[in-house]
Amino acid sequence: MRKMLVAALSRVLQGPAAARTVARVVVASRTYADFASEATFEIKKCDLHRLEEGPPATAVLTREEGLHYYKTMQTIRRMELKADQLYKQKIIRGFCHLYDGQEACCVGLEAAIKPTDHLITAYRAHGYTFTRGTSVREILAELTGRKGGCAKGKGGSMHMYAKNFYGGNGIVGAQVPLGAGIALACKYFGKDEICLTLYGDGAANQGQVFETYNMAALWKLPCIFICENNRYGMGTSVERAAASTDYYKRGDYIPGLRIDGMDLLCVREATKFAAEHCRSGKGPILMELQTYRYHGHSMSDPGVSYRTREEIQEVRSKSDPITLLKDRMVNNNLASVEELKEIDVEVRKEIEEAAQFATTDPEPPLEELSNHIYCNDPPFEVRGPNQWIRYKSAC
């Protein structure tokens, strides 16, 4: 019956509009009963350090989870591409580090933890800001320095915050000891909470990282140290920067896992395993996510002087996290191609509306300069652009 309906419509309608109408009819005519409710997938085994056993080698994905993950990753991808466009139009200025290519990391991590858990990362933070609950509208408005941004236009690309999300930190590696401090607070207050502390392969050689490992192990802090290894620290490959590229072993006395960071299910299952390790009182654990960024280090880096266009294209064609999830869902009857295309259209519309807001929302007034310096503090005077202008601070 469905085939007859589609054929009849195709004869009546012609052109692109016909194709879109037919696609919508196909989606609408399929009911939930036509799809599988869940599927089980074999996933790549993790490399282990100081662990007798690791995460499972299979993962169950429900249809509902798959659609949610797909939409989330597509939203982050499209948001970053829009940020690229706004930067090239000089609407976004200053530092801007994009996350496209690494979406499986932030979405997989968030899928495995609780909203009450904590997360802190470096300056490539847009994806995590979104998965922690901030809207695209607030993120793009922050990038354009507008009042409606998630940090009221004062933070920009590197300094975004949300509930239980502590940024967005501009100093390389400096967020690692802060993450251990958050984990110490979780333990001190006796809460069943953990902190995910993220850093890149470029920051992994810093002394403060190893000092933090030591304290976290001594105090058995509920901290997951996560190295997002995207193979390049700025323009330097990991092989040229590190005597040992086994970042998951860098904790020495801390157990470690090395995971395929381009596979959302691998990331999710490994993070569930690591979270349970921390919650059970065993102390910290280290994860290395092997991933890849499609853009350069930042918008000022074209990204092709230290790697070839062919290398980037090969990763896109063989390991793209969104394509991998899409193929799994379609091939296992968890979703149809047409249904996923409808999600793509919905996401593009959301991004365009958010970009419109981010380019028309007013910039914060100069009086805002003195606000939000301290939390829960009595108001005090702050000097303005010159010594005769004073502003009153507000929380």
Over residues 314-336, the pLDDT tens digits come to 999 999 999 999 999 999 999 99
What is the model's pLDDT at position 83?
98
Tens-digit pLDDT profile for residues 263-293: 999 999 999 999 999 999 999 999 999 999 9
Rounded-to-integer distance, Cα 353 and Cα 174, Å: 35
Banded model confidence at residue 30, pLDDT cuts 50, 70, 90: low
Q: Where are the domains of the chain?
A: 39-364, 367-394
Look at residue 9 and tell me whether its pLDDT is greater than 80.
no
Q: Is 215 helix (H, G, I), strand (E, B) or coil?
A: helix
* Residue bearing the bigger pLDDT, 305 or 369: 305
Q: By percentage, how much of the chain surpasses pLDDT 90?
A: 84
Q: Is 59 helix (H, G, I), strand (E, B) or coil?
A: strand
Q: Give the chain's mean pLDDT.
A: 93
Tell me the pTM: 0.91
Query: Which pair of structure tokens corresponds to residue 382?
Result: 């702050």
Q: Which of 26-30, 159-163, 259-263, 341-345 has the lowest mean pLDDT?
A: 26-30
DSSP result, 153-187: TSS-TT---BTTB-----STTTHHHHHHHHHHHHH
Look at residue 76 and tell me whether its pLDDT is greater than 80.
yes
Banded model confidence at residue 255, pLDDT cuts 50, 70, 90: very high
> Do the beta carbons of residue 274 and residue 243 sit within 8 Å?
no
What is the model's pLDDT at position 28?
47
Look at residue 6 and tell me whether its pLDDT is greater than 50.
no
Banded model confidence at residue 191, pLDDT cuts 50, 70, 90: very high
Q: Which superfamily does 39-364 belong to?
A: Thiamin diphosphate (ThDP)-binding fold, Pyr/PP domains (3.40.50.970)
Mean of the pLDDT values across residues 354-370?
93
Q: Is 256 helix (H, G, I), strand (E, B) or coil?
A: strand
Residue partners of 297: CB distance under 8 A and separation at least 6: 97, 232, 234, 235, 303
> Do the beta carbons of residue 113 and residue 196 sit within 8 Å?
yes
| Pick from 94, 101, 95: nearest CA to 80 | 101
Q: Which of 42-46, 307-311, 380-384 has the lowest mean pLDDT?
A: 380-384
Banded model confidence at residue 164, pLDDT cuts 50, 70, 90: very high
Q: Which of 134-148, 180-194, 197-211, 372-386 has the lowest mean pLDDT?
A: 372-386
Residue partners of 122: CB distance under 8 A and separation at least 6: 169, 172, 173, 175, 198, 199, 200, 203
What is the model's pLDDT at position 84?
98
Banded model confidence at residue 11, pLDDT cuts 50, 70, 90: low
Banded model confidence at residue 29, pLDDT cuts 50, 70, 90: low
Look at residue 15 and tell me whether its pLDDT is greater than 70.
no
* Residue bearing the bigger pLDDT, 378 or 318: 318
Look at residue 313 and tell me whether its pLDDT is greater than 50.
yes
Mean of the pLDDT values across residues 158-174?
96
